[in-house]
Structure 1
Amino acid sequence: MASRVLIFMALTSLYIFPLLIPIATATFHVKGSVYCDTCRAGFETNATFYIQGATVGIQCKERKTMKVVFYTEGVTDSTGTYHIEVENDHRDSICQCMLVKSPIKWCSTPDSGRDTSSIVLTHYQNGIVNHLHYANAMGYLKDKPLPECEKLLQYYLTDSDV
């Protein structure tokens, strides 16, 4: 019986303790993308392109007072993807990614509703062990839609049940 207990303890320590160590030293990696909505459709289309050099912020607010307790920024790479490292667990905070600045003058109006993305930056009682967290894509609107957008949007509508 004692040998079974020892085997159980050994197996438990091999599988459970390594899971607890990363949680205690929480560093989160937030990944997402920024696009230019060339059709002003409010969503990504076949005419959408991803923006290199866009600045993205991550902000966390204290849940009760809504006071900003954390802020950092990152920049998108050649694929329009950002990778931002966030230190510490933000257990009692409401966090979100947000558009800060577009490097493209004619595509620099944030699309309301697609200009922020909520992100969970805690491991506290939520069952999330992974340190890589994905944010929804965020987008800017082109000043004027491309000429081919009318045809493209009609194509999307013909495929719907509306």
Structure 2
Amino acid sequence: MATRVLLLMALTLFIFPLIIPMATATFHVKGSVYCDTCRAGFETNATFYIEGARVGIQCKERRTLKKVFYREGVTDSSGTYHIEVENDHGDHICQCMLVKSPIKWCSTPDSGRDRSSIVLTHYQNGIVNHLHYANAMGFLRDEPLPQCDTLLKYYLADSDF
């Protein structure tokens, strides 16, 4: 009997406090938004990060693809956004996505870099941190900068292409 009482006390004091925060988790998603000034499809030395870009996080049910969560955020002066997501989205498909650029000449989402999948669960995945990072996402400049030819030749100098 005493052993059961000690076991119950141990569960109450040590194990349950570790499980409950995971079930009621608030995740902090962080990422950045840039302007691809060379239309290269990746970040270069000519890339700059956009202040005031709107980004959304959307989670859908895996089977029905019904939207169950959506929240938007705005990038700061360094082009970084921070968005809080309530609850564990264990069996949901979650993505960060570009919504709108404040720069008219750099407002076309790069189709290869306009969204980023993100895992927003702690359930059986070993992730205990509440801060999750998304891949950088980018808008394309309408016309590439004049120095982009030289810059892209530099990036491709060691390439087999």
> Shared topology, TM-score over 0.5?
yes
1:125 CA drift (Å)? 1.1
Q: Secondary structure at the match of 2:55?
A: strand
Residue 44 (structure 2) aligns with:
45
List alignment gaps of at least 5 residues for structure 2. Answer: none
1:17 CA drift (Å)? 4.9
Q: Secondary structure at the match of 2:156?
A: helix
Alpha-carbon distance between aligned partners in 2 of 1:120 and 1:64, rounded to the nearest angstrom = 17
Alpha-carbon distance between aligned partners in 1 of 2:154 and 2:115, rounded to the nearest angstrom = 28
Residue 38 of structure 2 aligns with an amino acid whose one-letter code is C
1:1-162 residue pairs with structure 2 within 5 A?
16-162=15-161
Number of equivalenced pairs: 157
Residue 122 of structure 1 aligns with an amino acid whose one-letter code is T
1:25 CA drift (Å)? 1.8
Q: Is the 8 A contact 1:19 1:129 kept in 2?
A: no
Residue 20 of structure 2 aligns with an amino acid whose one-letter code is I
List alignment gaps of at least 5 residues for structure 1. Answer: none
Alpha-carbon distance between aligned partners in 2 of 1:154 and 1:144, rounded to the nearest angstrom = 18
TM-score, normalised by the number of residues in structure 2? 0.90
CA deviations on 1:29-50 (whole Å, 9 max, x unpaired) are 0000000000000000000000
Identity of aligned residues (%): 85
TM-score, normalised by the number of residues in structure 1? 0.89
